């Protein structure tokens, strides 16, 4: 049987988060057993609503800081052999004020889980890395090798993710996916650190002016959630692919750059919001340009982000229209 046709037992840490919930939903739809872990530090129970009662889903409200976490879960669910590790402190500003806690959760706990996965003879361990691992490197597009020991990380978050990716990539089980700016349904628009797309869609639907920090010419590489989930399946060896098993560190972006002003224009057109953007001071510590080189994962796994920004925004907008919380 080909590797991708085997039904796997998958652990998803951070399953109540934006990305983790989409990954779990897809794994379940493909017939895999999913054991989800979350402590609701930043995830929300509502994100699991569509699969909470699925017969192949089991949920544990636990922290990844817990000792023997994978061992205990595997004892209860012997089919487990693949770990998607997404749980982390996700707020960069929070990490600035909580350096030790960020290192413990985003790095030390990752190492512990990886070592457990090795001991338990798991087949795969897939780690959620971040574009923050590149610091403010402006050699674009960013290639995986640019992040190294000399990189000046702008936050404990970036540093811990960098160390985590290095460690994971050194394991025969390990794949680290370095995500650029992910967007899509279920992303929380209401926190001060929410991604710009969720904020802009939320403001546009409220018929407010979109807030642009700085001149709006800063640019990002926005990647749609379903393309991210496809990348996860390939990294976990769960999707048909003629490619060899991949190991190492891979950027997950589109390779396309969009300025914040361009984004504002597209969102205004899609929502019919006719208001001019409101320009506010530049956000301290903001990175000017971020753009992924996407050749490595294309070569290793045949993956490309297939969703255009317009299509991704349309689908996200549709979801916000249906689910947007009242003021």
Interface residue list for ligand UD1 (CB under 6 A): 92, 131-132, 181, 193-196, 199, 211-213, 218, 220, 260, 283, 286-287, 290
Peptide bond into 141 cis (omega under 30): yes
Biggest alpha carbon–alpha carbon distance for the chain = 58
Helices (H), 69-127: 69-76, 92-97, 99-102, 109-119
Give the residue with the Cβ less far from ligand UD1, 69 or 105: 105
Task: Confirm if 280 and 212 have CB atoms less than 8 A apart.
Answer: yes
User: In whole angstroms, how close is the CB of 267 to ligand UD1 at the nearest point?
Assistant: 11
Angle at 16 between CA 10 and CA 22, to 5 degrees: 65
Task: Confirm if 256 and 185 have CB atoms less than 8 A apart.
Answer: no
Give the residue with the Cβ less far from ligand UD1, 196 or 231: 196
User: In whole angstroms, how close is the CB of 166 to ligand UD1 at the nearest point?
Assistant: 17
Give the residue with the Cβ less far from ligand UD1, 193 or 243: 193
User: In whole angstroms, how close is the CB of 5 to ligand UD1 at the nearest point?
Assistant: 35
Cβ-based neighbour number of residue 216 at 10 Å:
18
User: In whole angstroms, how close is the CB of 102 to ligand UD1 at the nearest point?
Assistant: 13
Cβ-based neighbour number of residue 256 at 10 Å:
17
Give the residue with the Cβ less far from ligand UD1, 60 or 180: 180
User: In whole angstroms, how close is the CB of 36 to ligand UD1 at the nearest point?
Assistant: 22
Give the residue with the Cβ less far from ligand UD1, 49 or 217: 217
Helices (H), 171-294: 196-205, 225-235, 260-271
């Amino acid at each position: 049987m080909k590797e991708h046709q085997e039904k796997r037992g998958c652990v998803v840490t951070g399953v109540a988060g934006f990305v983790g919930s989409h990954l779990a939903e897809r794994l379940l739809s493909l017939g895999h057993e999913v054991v989800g872990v979350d402590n609701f530090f930043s995830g929300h129970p509502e994100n699991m609503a569509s699969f909470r009662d699925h017969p192949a889903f089991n949920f544990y409200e636990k922290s990844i800081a817990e000792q023997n976490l994978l061992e205990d879960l595997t004892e209860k669910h012997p089919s487990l052999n693949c770990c998607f590790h997404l749980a982390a402190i996700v707020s960069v500003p929070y990490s600035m004020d909580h350096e030790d806690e960020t290192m413990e959760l985003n790095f030390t706990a990752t190492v512990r889980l990886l070592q457990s996965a090795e001991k338990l003879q798991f087949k795969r361990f897939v780690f959620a890395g971040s574009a923050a691992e590149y610091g403010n490197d402006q050699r674009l597009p960013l290639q995986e090798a640019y992040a190294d020991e000399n990189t000046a990380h702008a936050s404990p978050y970036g540093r811990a993710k960098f160390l985590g990716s290095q460690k994971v990539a050194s394991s025969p089980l390990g794949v680290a996916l370095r995500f650029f700016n992910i967007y899509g349904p279920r992303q929380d628009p209401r926190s001060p650190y929410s991604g710009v797309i969720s904020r802009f869609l939320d403001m546009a639907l409220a018929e407010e002016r979109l807030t642009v920090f700085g001149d709006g010419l800063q640019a990002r590489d926005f990647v749609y959630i379903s393309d991210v989930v496809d990348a996860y399946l390939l990294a976990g060896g769960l999707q048909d692919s003629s490619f060899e098993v991949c190991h190492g560190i891979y950027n997950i972006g589109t390779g396309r750059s969009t300025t914040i002003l361009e984004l504002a224009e597209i969102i205004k057109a899609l929502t019919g919001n006719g208001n001019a953007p409101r320009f506010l001071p530049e956000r301290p510590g903001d990175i000017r340009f971020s753009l992924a080189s996407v050749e490595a994962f294309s070569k290793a796994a045949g993956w490309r982000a297939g969703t255009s920004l317009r299509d991704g925004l349309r689908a996200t907008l549709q979801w916000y229209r249906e689910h947007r919380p009242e003021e």
